[in-house]
Amino acid sequence: MRAHTAAIVVGAADCVAAVAIALALLGSGSDPATKDLDNAAAWLLIALLLISGVPGLVLALLRRAPKFALVLTLGFPIGFVLFYIAAVIAFAF
């Protein structure tokens, strides 16, 4: 698969996943004690998508810098995993 095609596929998947997760976090009927943490996580997720996923998808759709677009679109899932690991470590100790 070429970098251009991969960037479009990953960028589209980033957008769908971010919207689904953000809606789940913002619309969750979670415990009122953790409601602010859910909101903060949702906004952090949206910010991460706007910083990496959307610009990478736009670059890929414009057929500009396909390798850089792929790196940007991959930044979203990698960043999400890193934030998740950091949260698990923070709450474990």
Q: Structural domain boundaries of the chain?
A: 3-92
Mean pLDDT of 44-48: 82
Above pLDDT 90, what percent of the chain? 3
Residue with tokens 């998947």: 13
φ and ψ at 60, to 5 degrees?
-65, -40
pLDDT band at 73 (very low <50, low <70, confident <90, very high): confident
Distance between CA atoms of residues 32 and 3, nearest Å: 44
Asked if the model's pLDDT at residue 38 lies above 80, the reply is: no
- What are all long-range contacts of 34-37, with beta carbons under 8 Å and residues at least 24 apart? none
As a whole number, mean pLDDT of residues 19-43 equals 77
Q: Which amino acid is at 18?
A: A
The half-sphere exposure of 31 on its side-chain side, counting CA atoms within 13 A, is: 3
Q: How is residue 1 written in tokens?
A: 């698969």
